[in-house]
Amino acid sequence: MEKGGEMEENKKTEVIADLHIHSRYSRACSKDLSIQNLEKYARIKGIDILGTGDISHESWLKELNENLKESEREKGIFTTKTGFRFALSGEISLAYTQGKGRRVHLVYLAPDFEVNKQINDFLDKKGRRDYDGRPIFGFSCIEFADEMMKISKDIEVIPAHAWTPWFGIFGSESGFDSLSEAFKDNADFIHAIETGMSSSPDMNWRIKELNSKSIVSFSDAHSFWPWRIGREATIFKNKEDKEFSYKELIRQIRESDFAATIETDPAYGKYHYDGHRLCKFSCSPAQTKELNNICPVCGKPLVIGVENRVEKLAAFPAGFMPRNAKPFYKVLPLHEIIALAKASTLASKKTWQTYNQLIERFKNEFNVLLRAEKAELTGALPHDELLVKSIMDNRMGNIKVKPGFDGEYGIPLLKERQAKLL
């Protein structure tokens, strides 16, 4: 990825997309989520295309139809009046029995509103979709994939946050051991999986079945704030002589032909380590083995996190890299780095003041996180050597994170605290 003075040139060759978000009609999501706020903060973040989220919900669909129109140049991409781009996306929760109780979240992309209407007509035959932007249905992954193929070959289905214990396709609590087990004969219809915050591409490379799939990343944001939206994203190629249509987007996903992904440190995710949130106890997979999977505080089975689960299903050792492996950038959100360096909180006035200063200078957050030269950052922050160093350390993956577990985010640590952790 180009840096410094080449930032604008970089925009011609890349499209940064976050295709998994939610609207205010989903549970536990900000009530201020609107098209306008999503566009505003996506631009601040540096996102080029945002998923709409929640295309199963009629109230949100009404707003989408009122605010978006299909691009004349980029078929299947929808734009606001000011030209910001969206792709139609949704998420479905499937809760059913296949050998045991399963709970799986799937992201899906649709090429246009007419195809999405056909999807919703199918869902209406299976239950209600008016109560939540991420509705729950009692049929299987197999049936969903089968019906999507019947409706349109241009629908893309992607297992969401694939490793999280409760709702990931490989989750320790209700998932499967393989895509083939989950989708049976329809497994070939699944071209990609979403890493989720608690895993990174190199962890997924260790799974033999995934070596023939794309490893993509999106945020699953429940608010528009910059430390949520775009915290994980996929960088698509954008050839100047070719329109970036919906079909081109899914072609790159299906052929693993995109450029790279943007990831948080997997330890930052809510389910990286094993543990019990209420017991305030967490541990590594090795420690879990010593404890026979039992929490030493309450005596009940631990919630097994992503690192442990990957280790169980891995066919290849840590460090294995398949031929089709894509580069990835491991960075924490800029608000986290500012708050860490200034001993403040994410949404404090002190953090926002510095954040806004950097955005004014570098135009968007990804320019700060990934592209700005150290000398440029020093020029923008002449009296803040620690923050400049922290931004560069973040870019190099040198900021340690106390691993998250059982629904608790991981905690970034400064050097003096890292020594205690290690």
Q: pLDDT tens digits, residue range 19-58?
A: 999 999 999 999 999 999 999 999 999 999 999 999 999 9
DSSP state of 403: P
- Percent share of the chain, pLDDT over 70: 95
DSSP state of 371: I
In whole angstroms, give the CA distance from residue 20 to residue 413: 28
| Contact (Cβ atoms closer than 8 angstroms) between residue 248 and residue 264 | no
Which of the listed residues 268, 283, 306 is the one where a domain comes to its end? 268
Q: Report the predicted TM-score, pTM, of the whole model to 2 decimal places.
A: 0.95
13: left (phi over 0), alpha (psi -120 to 50) or beta: alpha
Considering the domain boundaries, does residue 326 fall inside one? no
Domain of residue 66, CATH code: 3.20.20.140
**345 and 259 in one domain?**
no
Considering the domain boundaries, does residue 191 fall inside one? yes
**343 and 258 in one domain?**
no
Which residue in 409, 124, 94 sits closest to 282, CA to CA? 409
Strands 260-263 and 274-276: unpaired
**340 and 222 in one domain?**
no
In whole angstroms, give the CA distance from residue 125 to residue 106: 19
Give 128-177 pLDDT, tens digit per residue.
Answer: 999 999 999 999 999 999 999 999 999 999 999 999 999 999 999 999 99
Give 309-361 pLDDT, tens digit per residue.
Answer: 999 999 999 999 999 899 999 999 999 999 999 999 999 999 999 999 999 99
| Contact (Cβ atoms closer than 8 angstroms) between residue 253 and residue 217 | no
Give 192-249 pLDDT, tens digit per residue.
Answer: 999 999 999 999 999 999 999 999 999 999 999 999 999 999 999 998 767 799 999 9
**162 and 22 in one domain?**
yes
**358 and 231 in one domain?**
no
| Contact (Cβ atoms closer than 8 angstroms) between residue 116 and residue 88 | yes
- Bridge partner list, 273: 405
**181 and 71 in one domain?**
yes
Cα 344-348-351 angle, rounded to 5 deg: 65
Alpha carbon of 98 to those of 102, 107, 182, 226: distances in Å?
Answer: 7, 20, 9, 39
**365 and 220 in one domain?**
no
Q: Which helix (H) or strand (E) holds 262?
A: strand 260-263
**Structural domain count of the chain:** 2
| Contact (Cβ atoms closer than 8 angstroms) between residue 271 and residue 306 | yes
**Structural domain that includes position 365:** 333-398
**56 and 144 in one domain?**
yes
Q: Which helix (H) or strand (E) holds 107?
A: strand 100-110
**Hey, CA dihedral for 68, 69, 73, 75, is it positive or negative?**
positive
